[in-house]
C-alpha cells in the first residue's frame, strides 16, 4: 500500500468544521449564562457589603466582578442581538479588556 492512503481507526482528526451541534451550543450558552449570573450575584453581594460597612475595597471587589463577568455577557448579547457581520475579533478584544479590568479591580480591592 502507498503510505498515507490507509486511514487507521486510531488516527486523530485534527480539524473539524468548528461548529458544535445545536444541543451542545445551547448547553454551552446556558453554562456561560450561569457563570455570568453567579458573577453578577457576587458583585451584588459585595456591593451590599460595601454599603453596609462603607468599605472602599469591597466596592472595588464588587466593580471587579461586575466588569469581569457581567460586562462580557452584555457585550456578547449586544453583538448577537445587533445585525452586525464580522467583528468577532473586536468583540473578543472588548470582552477581554473588561475581564482584565475587572480582575485588576478585584486585586486592588483585596490588596488594600
- For 58-112, the pLDDT digits (tens) are 999 999 999 999 998 888 888 888 887 778 888 889 999 999 999 999 999 999 7
CB atoms within 10 A of CB 96: 11
Domain membership flag for residue 4 = no
The whole-number pLDDT of residue 76 equals 84
| Chain-centroid distance, C-alpha 26 | 15
All cell numbers assigned to 38? 453567579
Domain membership flag for residue 93 = yes
Give the chain's domain count.
1
Burial of 99 (0-12, 13-18, 19+ CB in 10 A): middle
Domain membership flag for residue 6 = no
CB atoms within 10 A of CB 20: 12
Q: How far apart are CA 82 and CA 61, in angstroms?
A: 31
Flag whether pLDDT at 13 surpasses 70: no
Domain membership flag for residue 46 = no
Mean pLDDT rounded to a whole number for the chain: 84
Identify the domain containing residue 98 by its residue range.
Answer: 57-112
Domain membership flag for residue 70 = yes
All cell numbers assigned to 93? 478584544
The whole-number pLDDT of residue 16 equals 58
Place of cell 453554562: 31
Domain membership flag for residue 42 = no
Domain membership flag for residue 88 = yes
Domain membership flag for residue 21 = no
Amino acid at each position: 500500500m502507498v503510505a498515507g492512503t490507509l486511514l487507521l481507526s486510531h488516527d486523530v482528526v485534527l480539524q473539524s468544521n468548528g461548529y458544535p451541534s445545536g444541543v451542545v451550543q445551547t448547553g454551552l450558552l446556558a453554562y456561560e449564562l450561569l457563570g455570568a449570573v453567579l458573577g453578577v450575584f457576587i458583585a451584588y453581594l459585595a456591593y451590599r457589603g460595601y454599603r453596609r460597612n462603607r468599605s472602599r475595597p469591597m466596592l472595588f471587589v464588587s466593580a471587579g466582578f461586575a466588569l469581569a463577568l457581567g460586562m462580557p455577557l452584555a457585550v456578547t448579547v449586544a453583538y448577537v442581538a445587533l445585525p452586525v457581520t464580522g467583528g468577532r475579533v473586536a468583540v473578543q478584544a472588548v470582552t477581554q479588556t473588561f475581564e482584565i479590568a475587572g480582575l485588576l479591580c478585584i486585586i486592588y480591592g483585596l490588596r488594600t
